[in-house]
Amino acid sequence: MLPFLKEITKEFKKICKESYLEINTSDKVIYPYLTFSYSSEMLENTREGFYVDVDVFDHCGGDTTRLEQLTEDIRKHFIKNRILSEAVLLQLKVSNRKIIPTTNPQIKRRWIQIYCKVDWR
């Protein structure tokens, strides 16, 4: 599990420095930021599938340009990506994307789901 988390976290940090597993743990919130969580399913032999849920947040009011650009950057980065390390082979694809309403009109949120097949080496 740790090699998967290490690699996926490294990939998110390439796109957005403010990337966090599950919740934003920063003392001072810097926008935009993303959080991600995962669930898994067993596939065959040494393969496991992960659904990675990504929430992207921005304090932007009515102008969502920066938020939409970050969401698109995430999509482009993971659309058909493969990552090979000594411990794992990750095969990623973007499967879903949607707008999530918030109760604060200044905070906007987007959700992306990435599916990742992991071959444990």
pLDDT at residue 120, as a whole number: 87
pLDDT at residue 22, as a whole number: 97
List all residues 6 or more positions away from 47 whose beta carbon is below 8 Å from its beta carbon.
117, 118, 119, 120
pTM, whole model, 2 decimals? Answer: 0.92
Cα separation, 42 vs 110, in Å, equals 28
pLDDT at residue 117, as a whole number: 95
Please report, in tens digits, the pLDDT of each residue of the chain (121 residues total).
688 999 999 999 999 999 999 999 999 999 999 999 999 999 988 899 999 999 999 999 889 999 999 999 999 999 889 999 998 999 999 989 999 999 999 999 999 999 999 998 7
* Host H or E run for residue 111: strand 107-120
pLDDT at residue 1, as a whole number: 64
> What is the crossing angle of helices 65-78 and 2-15, to 10°?
140
pLDDT at residue 121, as a whole number: 78
